């Protein structure tokens, strides 16, 4: 007898048995079963089907009363370990300063780094755990978390150790990314190479020794790190078996896409500024483009050309970029609404981008991002909704009612 039966599911969403990227025209196809049931056993999806063949017995039975069942979201890009919020910069931007100007004044990432280095590992852990609890309530079941607010050997290790503790104690699936090259600390201003050598000779070996990271990242952008420096870090990360996930093309197109694809990056993230040649480079690659629309929403910037990318045949993934500077929110349903409203993605496209493709962008596509027999039972039940499109349509009001990870609520 299965441990759990969910019956009267209005729509069982993203039923699929392949882990391949969903690209171009395929993105608007979403495989669903209307009026369905689902069983869970041993923490895994056991079986599902149409209500007229619903099993009668299980240890526990939930009546979804027409609510839909989705696989939990995968949020493949966050910085959710951080010390303090930065609403003072938010007000500065309202008054007219730009993100780049605030960064040049020593605000931004360097501001977060100062505060993080003053905070204890325990405090960081507690506040990050609270954020995980919050994002789980939005239906997120897996999350990637970056370092990058330490920018010193001790600070980066502290952040990554916090992420390692979160991995052990949270029921979410977590991947850790080392982002030592998030910003150049002020004291290395006249000697950039010295900071790069610190990353390569001191941070990376220790991180590898303690098994603290799954991926490596760099912020390839004017005023941050160049494509050449990014290429160097991708190469050094690869020596320790860390595939790259690169912040690029947020404000400028300057070669970050070619560099990342050339380095076999798992993903390139942001892409607010993306030209046709770069779209062509991505088309000839296995690198997943990850769009973070809550960052341009929050910064009042323009959005990535998602429509053009999809119409050219590319896959895309969606993530929140949860961080105190450019996206102080880890709300995946809101990101899905923004994708539809601001980037003209269809609801089905956005859902594929937040599940199957998002799982690929964080390397967990064998076990996450869809409903398939034998996979960990990570799913949520929504309130009764008239249609799939209602989820992004009803922006700002949560439809997610009950969240289950490995079969447990």
Catalog residues that contact Fe ion under the rule CB under 5 A. Answer: 321
Nearer to Fe ion, 147 or 357 (CB): 147
Q: Between 22 and 109, name the residue whose CB sits nearer to ligand NIG.
A: 109
Given ligand NIG, Fe ion, none, residue 383, with its beta carbon under 5 to 8 Å by kind, binds: none
Structure tokens given for 295: 């960052």
* 114 sits in which H/E element: helix 108-118
> In the bound complex, what is the minimum distance in angstroms from residue 331's beta carbon to ligand NIG?
16
- The neighbour count for residue 95, using CB atoms within 10 Å, is 6
Whose Cβ is closer to Fe ion: residue 321's or residue 349's? 321
> Is 76 within 8 Å of 361 (Cβ atoms)?
yes
State both tokens at 181: 């090259």
- Alpha-carbon distance 377 to 42, whole Å? 9
Residue 250, contacted partner among Fe ion, ligand NIG, none, CB below 5-8 A by kind: ligand NIG
In the bound state with ligand NIG, the residue whose beta carbon lies nearer, of 250 and 260, is 250
- Contact of 187 with 214, CB cutoff 8 Å: no
| Cα distance between residue 32 and residue 289, in whole Å | 25
392, 326 Cβ separation under 8 angstroms: no
DSSP-derived pairing of the beta strands 44-50 and 32-41? antiparallel
**Position closest to ligand NIG via CB:** 325
- Min CB(83)–ligand NIG separation in Å: 11
Least separation in angstroms between CB 219 and ligand NIG? 5
112 binds, among Fe ion, ligand NIG, none (CB under 5 to 8 A by kind): ligand NIG
* Interacting partner of 177 out of Fe ion, ligand NIG, none (Cβ under 5 to 8 A depending on kind): none
Cβ nearer to ligand NIG, comparing 296 with 376: 296
Distance, in Å, from the CA atom of 139 to the CA atom of 383, rounded to the nearest integer, reads: 12
How far apart CA 27 and CA 347 sit, in angstroms, is 10
Cβ distance to ligand NIG smaller for residue 39 or 112 = 112
d(CA 140, CA 86): 24
* Residues binding ligand NIG (CB under 6 A): 79, 108-109, 112, 219, 247, 250, 295, 321, 323-326
Residue 48 contact among ligand NIG, Fe ion, none, beta carbon within 5 to 8 Å by kind:
none
Task: Return the structure tokens found at 35.
Answer: 């009026």
Token representation of residue 316: 């895309």
Which of ligand NIG, Fe ion, none does 229 bind, CB closer than 5 to 8 A by kind?
none
Q: How far apart are CA 332 and CA 77, in angstroms?
A: 11
Nearest Cα neighbor of 80 from 140, 142, 128, 136 is 128
Chain length of the chain: 409
CB closest to Fe ion, residue no: 321
State the nearest-atom distance from the C-beta of 369 to Fe ion, in Å: 20
144 binds, among Fe ion, ligand NIG, none (CB under 5 to 8 A by kind): none
Minimum CB distance to Fe ion smaller for 76 or for 337: 76
- Our CB check for Fe ion shows the closer of 220 and 282 to be 220
Could you tell which of ligand NIG, Fe ion, none binds residue 108, using a CB distance below 5 to 8 A set by kind?
Answer: ligand NIG
| CB 182, min distance to ligand NIG, A | 6
């Amino acid at each position: 007898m299965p441990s759990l039966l969910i019956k009267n599911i209005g729509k069982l969403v993203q039923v699929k048995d392949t882990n391949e990227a969903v690209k171009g025209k395929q993105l608007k196809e979403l495989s669903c079963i209307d009026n369905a049931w689902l069983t869970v056993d041993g923490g895994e999806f056991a079986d599902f089907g149409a209500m007229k063949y619903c099993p009668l017995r299980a240890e526990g039975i939930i009546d979804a009363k027409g609510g839909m069942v989705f696989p939990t979201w995968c949020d493949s890009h966050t910085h959710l370990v951080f010390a303090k919020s930065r609403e003072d910069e938010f007000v500065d931007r309202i008054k007219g300063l730009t993100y780049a100007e605030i960064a040049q004044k020593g605000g931004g990432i360097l501001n977060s780094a100062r505060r993080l280095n003053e905070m204890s590992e325990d405090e960081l852990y507690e506040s990050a755990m609270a954020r995980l609890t919050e994002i789980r309530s939005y239906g997120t079941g897996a999350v990637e978390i970056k370092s990058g607010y330490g920018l010193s050997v001790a600070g980066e290790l502290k952040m990554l150790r916090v992420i390692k503790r979160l991995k052990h104690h949270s029921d979410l699936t977590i991947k850790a990314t080392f982002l030592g090259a998030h910003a150049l600390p002020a004291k290395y201003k006249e000697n950039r190479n010295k900071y790069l050598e610190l990353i390569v000779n001191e941070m990376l070996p220790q991180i590898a020794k303690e098994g603290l990271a799954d991926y490596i990242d760099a912020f390839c952008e004017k005023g941050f790190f160049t494509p050449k420096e990014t290429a160097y870090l991708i190469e050094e990360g690869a020596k320790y078996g860390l595939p790259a996930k690169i912040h690029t093309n947020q404000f400028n197109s300057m070669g970050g896409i070619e560099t990342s694809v050339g380095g076999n990056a798992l993903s390139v993230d942001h892409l607010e500024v993306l030209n046709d040649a770069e779209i062509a480079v991505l088309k000839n690659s296995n690198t997943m483009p990850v769009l973070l629309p809550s960052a341009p929403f929050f910064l009042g910037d323009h959005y990535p050309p998602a429509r053009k990318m999809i119409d050219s045949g590319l896959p895309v993934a969606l993530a929140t970029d949860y961080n105190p500077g450019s996206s102080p929110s880890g709300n995946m349903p809101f990101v899905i609404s923004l994708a539809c409203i601001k980037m003209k993605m269809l609801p089905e496209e956005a859902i594929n981008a937040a599940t199957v493709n998002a799982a690929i962008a964080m390397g967990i596509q064998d076990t996450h991002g869809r409903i398939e027999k034998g996979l960990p039972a990570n799913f949520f039940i929504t309130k009764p909704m008239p249609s799939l499109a209602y989820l992004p349509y009803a922006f700002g009001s949560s439809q997610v009612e009950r969240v289950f990870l490995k079969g447990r609520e």
